[in-house]
Amino acid sequence: MTRKYFGTDGIRGKVGVPPITPDFLLKLGWAAGQVFANEGHNFVLVGKDTRISGYMFESALEAGLTAAGVDTRLVGPMPTPAIAYLTRTLHAKAGIVISASHNPYYDNGIKFFSAQGTKLPDEIERKIEAYLDLPITTVESSKLGKAKRVVDAAGRYIEFCKASVPTGMTFDGMKIVVDCANGATYHVAPHVFTELGADVITIGAEPDGLNINEGYGATSPENLVKTVLEHQAHFGIALDGDGDRLIMVDHKGELVDGDELIYIIAKARLKAGLLSGPVVGTLMTNLGMELALKGLNVPLLRANVGDRYVIEMLAEHKGMLGGENSGHIICLDKTTTGDGIIAALQVIAEMQKTGLSLHDLKSGMQKYPQVLINVRTAQKVDLTHEGIQQAVRAVEQSLGTEGRVLLRTSGTEPLIRVMVEGRDQSDVENYAKQLANDVKQAIAA
């Protein structure tokens, strides 16, 4: 049975366009309440990022949960991974995050966490969807749910983050730029690094409901690069709107992406004898990371794109570290989901242990040039089409063992994503353009 509303990371879309409407969120709160009524403790935890529509949807969800007879605990703007942590430690029935992550303010979405702080299993999402097809009923007045605010949520999460580095370790002497993307980490991330002793310069920490991810954060690191160089900082940290992504910038102003950060953490864990199982990346993980890990005798497995699939593969193969080049980094020895602050702390801890700069730590991995071209389609395309496969084989033959080709359809847009990776930038660009053109011709034929 396919899911009608849930995608790979909850439900997401443009505000005011179904299903991201107040009436649907009311119904979703009620449906979730029906499913979670007998789970965990006695309430559902609800958090959000800083986009303006979060207030509207928070009220709608609360009303739906209340009608189902389920209590609600509201934490206000908090990072997505904080909700996962608090759901688990407060013994909630479930956690709900109102966020569209790295998207602009006019989008929004809903993510769910189980009582264990993990993403919901497919069968639970299907149960919620089944209730969405039923009319709303309201429990009798004496059994209506109640809503309260959790006043110490931020403090709890800050302490949890700080505890993820070795006891007694401080970041004294480090000058750090922290970019909060005008999102949910604005009142959390600066405190974590300051309380660990760093000299923190904060940017992107003035949310107004409309500026989330706009010109700041993991998807727009230009201001971070500029500020790191301006202040001669040791490095910079860019989080996204809901705090589950991390991109860093070294003292030279060079970006350090998710693949390079995972490599740094993997090498550190291996050296400390703490790495178990394979590292899990995705189909988009850079070939350079695979080869660097191979040099350490660490296997890399590739999951489908999406941190949900990375986490599933980690569980299946008893791994503890994985993620995506976009900056979703999952350290299962520290928490249950992707967490930008936790991942940053693991990298900084290794800098402190070794005395090496971020630039030095990333140098063990040489990224291969990777070119991605989107080919727009008017209809669904069969990627096993002989014309497309013939074009792929031709490029693969030219690259030999020094490169990689990947074609995949977008899950959200009518696009075929054409990716070519290899040692030489100009060759990769030419092969990608050639393959994209061949795909267009095959579609038109």
**Tens digit of each residue's pLDDT (9 = 90 or more) over 335-354:** 999 999 999 999 999 999 99
Q: By three-state DSSP, how is residue 302 classified?
A: strand
Superfamily of domain 370-444: Alpha-D-phosphohexomutase, C-terminal domain (3.30.310.50)
SS3 sequence, 361-393? HHCCCCCCCEEEEEEECCCCCCCCCHHHHHHHH
Only one residue has tokens 């290794």, namely 350
Q: Which amino acid is at 106?
A: Y
pLDDT the model gives residue 411: 65
Distance (Å, whole) CA 234 – CA 26: 47
Q: By three-state DSSP, how is residue 332 classified?
A: coil
Domain spans of the chain, in order of start: 11-152, 171-254, 257-340+352-367, 370-444
- Confidence class for position 410, pLDDT limits 50, 70, 90: confident
Q: Which amino acid is at 175?
A: K
Give the burial string for 244-256 (b: 16+ CB within 10 Å, else e): bbbbbbbbebebb
- Confidence class for position 400, pLDDT limits 50, 70, 90: confident
pLDDT the model gives residue 2: 65
pTM confidence score: 0.94
Q: What is the mean pLDDT of residues 140-153?
A: 96
Q: Which CATH class is domain 11-152?
A: alpha beta
pLDDT the model gives residue 7: 84
Query: Count of CB atoms within 10 A of residue 213's CB?
Result: 26
pLDDT the model gives residue 402: 84
Burial class (CB in 10 A: 0-12, 13-18, 19+), 262: buried
pLDDT the model gives residue 41: 64
pLDDT tens digits along 225-245: 999 999 999 999 999 999 999
Domain covering 171-254, topology: Alpha-D-Glucose-1,6-Bisphosphate; Chain A, domain 3 (3.40.120)
Distance (Å, whole) CA 122 – CA 11: 13
**Distance between alpha carbon 208 and the CA centroid of its chain, in Å?**
22
Same fold, 171-254 and 257-340+352-367: yes
- pLDDT value at 358 more than 80: yes
- pLDDT value at 191 more than 70: yes
pLDDT the model gives residue 387: 84
- The values of phi and psi at residue 362, to 5°, are -80, -15
Burial class (CB in 10 A: 0-12, 13-18, 19+), 380: exposed
Catalytic residue among 53, 99, 101, 164: 101
Q: Which amino acid is at 268?
A: A
Tokens for 21, please give them: 């409407």
Active site residue 101: yes
- 432 and 371 Cβ atoms separated by less than 8 Å: yes
Tokens for 243, please give them: 């705090």
pLDDT the model gives residue 412: 62
Q: What is the mean pLDDT of residues 415-444?
A: 91
Domain covering 257-340+352-367, topology: Alpha-D-Glucose-1,6-Bisphosphate; Chain A, domain 3 (3.40.120)
Query: What are the strands, taking DSSP E only, across 304-379?
Result: 321-323, 329-331, 370-376
- pLDDT value at 1 more than 60: no
- pLDDT value at 187 more than 60: yes
Only one residue has tokens 């394979």, namely 278
pLDDT tens digits along 374-390: 998 877 777 888 888 98
